[in-house]
Amino acid sequence: MLTKQQNQIMQHPNLRSNLPVAALVEASIKTGQGSLSDKGALMINTGTFTGRSPRDRYIVEDDLTREKVDWGKVNIPFTPADYERLESKILAYAQGLDTVYFRDAYACASQKYRINVKVYTEQPWQNLFAYNMFLRPDGGQIKNLLTDDWTIYAFPGCLADPATDGTRQENFAVINFSKQTIIIGGTAYTGEIKKGIFSVLNFVLPTQRDVLSMHCSANVGTKGDSALFFGLSGTGKTTLSNDPDRRLIGDDEHGWSQANVFNLEGGCYAKVIDLSETKEPQIYRAIRFGALLENVVVRPDGHTPDYADASITENTRVSYPINHIENIMYNSRGDLPRNIFFLTCDAFGVLPPISRLTKEQAMYHFISGYTAKIAGTEAGITEPQATFSACFGAPFLPLHPTVYARMLGEKLDAAAENDTPINVWLVNTGWTGGSYGAGSRIELTYTRAIIKAALNGDLDAVPYRTDDFFGLSVPQRCPDVPNAILNPRDTWPNEAEYDRAATRLQALFEANYRPYAEAGAAAGAIGSDK
């Protein structure tokens, strides 16, 4: 049942519904909010917020969520009363605007699991973002979207009053699962829209649809073999999944059902800091008319993006429909995966370039979600810093991470029982021959060769050895890769220093895992590092 205010916004005197891309671009330029790049992309600035604000993202705690959501620093509870007050405020704010932009869309490329999404925005370029990132219905489907599943209200000019609205500060993003609504105010950063629905799917798909939702990229080979690539920022997830010899299913969010792997989105939201056509040709060429560049510095000519300039933010971004990429799966779906890659940039220089994981190790490393920040990338960091993000996407997981890890284990078991075993690989795209500052980064050509060998089955029959510190199974030969780098201890000038670094990293893994064990997720339930 729609409230009076919800009905009112649908009857807004200047509600611009499902405008074409050209009209949204034109409206952004006419209002002085954007300009065209030399390639025709719309360039905008999101203002104060150039990234998500995790401490201001809330979930309404009610009968539906109280016993299921993993409450804490990631999932901050919000009372139903505070939500009703804040929703009324944002809808009243929308009524006072000269123009409101509306878009019909949906999420999940699998028809069986799709959810319809209605997006109301204050700015035309926010609506363009929704067009780019969600799946786009054709004209016939739009007419059928009469009973929407989820509604998003994104009005950055609506500010919360922390004294009365239950928020920490003026900006907010609140998910209400019972009302199937997301309200976003005080921030114009478009990623809040994208990750709001991703958080919704990370609750709905596992609990109601028996689908494992995943923060990963995916592609398909010429023989129909799907592969998944998990990895935090800087690990090479986008680079390695954009393979000219394989078709891209999607670059960031996927579901794994009993039948297939499917994209949750209809577009890509890529970082563009230091972007070049040489390093990322597919992304570079996708930045044309219809793409939305965010917070990128413009050169003095007023039209050319300076991708190397991080003076606004390191988190410069572009969104574009997935069909801006040439080599894609037309239906954004693929068969069940045959290979899974956990990518880590190990700045300690300890982990092998590739190792094959058992089911238990796969669950352990999935729930660990490890990479390392490099010394010098942030103020105060003088040596490598371990970073752990459960399931490679902790900020977007409403459920306890062990729920997703157990689902992964069950899917690996089911594949083995059906005589279609899945290879799970831990791939280090970071350092060899020493930690950052002493060793060197593993060459991208070697990492590409390693991924290719794993996908082609070239590592199936080679000899393996067991790593002494992590119990990893390490291949001793790989086509087009020097044997010497496959065993990281052998590449260090001082093996005793390697042992100390490995011992330290092993302790960091154990400390990160300890809370999961203490929460009752025993190692036998979610896997082990050995």
Q: State the Cα–Cα distance between residues 182 and 169, nearest whole angstrom.
A: 18
Nearest to 292 by CA among 40, 19, 52: 40
Q: How far is CA 33 from CA 25, 188, 246, 258, in A?
A: 10, 12, 38, 45
Catalytic status, residue 252: yes
Looking at 246, 317, 333, 365, which residue is catalytic? 317
**Closest among 68, 424, 61, 416 to 230, alpha carbons compared:** 424
Catalytic residue list contains 178: no
373 in catalytic set: no
39, 62, 328 from 208: Cα distances, Å: 43, 17, 29
Residue 85 bears catalytic tag: no
Q: Given the structure tokens 């579901």, which residue do they identify?
A: 255
Q: Which of 93, 60, 94, 91 is nearest to 75 (CA)?
A: 60
Catalytic residue among 136, 179, 215, 324: 215
Q: How many residues does the chain have?
A: 530
- Point out the catalytic residue in the list 17, 99, 233, 358: 233
**Which listed residue (28, 37, 52, 316) is catalytic?**
52
Q: Which of 195, 324, 365, 406 is catalytic?
A: 195
How many Å apart are CA 526 and CA 480, to the nearest integer? 35
Give the integer Cα–Cα distance in Å for 184 and 177. 15
Amino acid at 389: S
Other beta carbons within 10 Å of 157: 14
Alpha helices by DSSP H, 232-383: 237-241, 281-286, 359-368
Tell me which of 252, 346, 467, 529 is the catalytic residue.
252
For residue 233, indicate whether it is catalytic.
yes
Determine phi and psi for 174, rounding to 5 degrees: -125, 130
Nearest CA to 50 out of 245, 296, 352 is that of 296
Q: Give the integer Cα–Cα distance in Å for 248 and 526.
A: 30
Q: Please tell me the distance from the alpha carbon of residue 157 to that of residue 121, in angstroms, as a whole number.
A: 10
The question of whether 333 is a catalytic residue gets the answer no
Does residue 79 have an active-site annotation?
no
Answer yes or no: 215 catalytic.
yes
Confirm if 265 and 396 have CB atoms less than 8 A apart: no
Residues catalogued as catalytic: 52, 195, 215, 233, 237-238, 252, 317
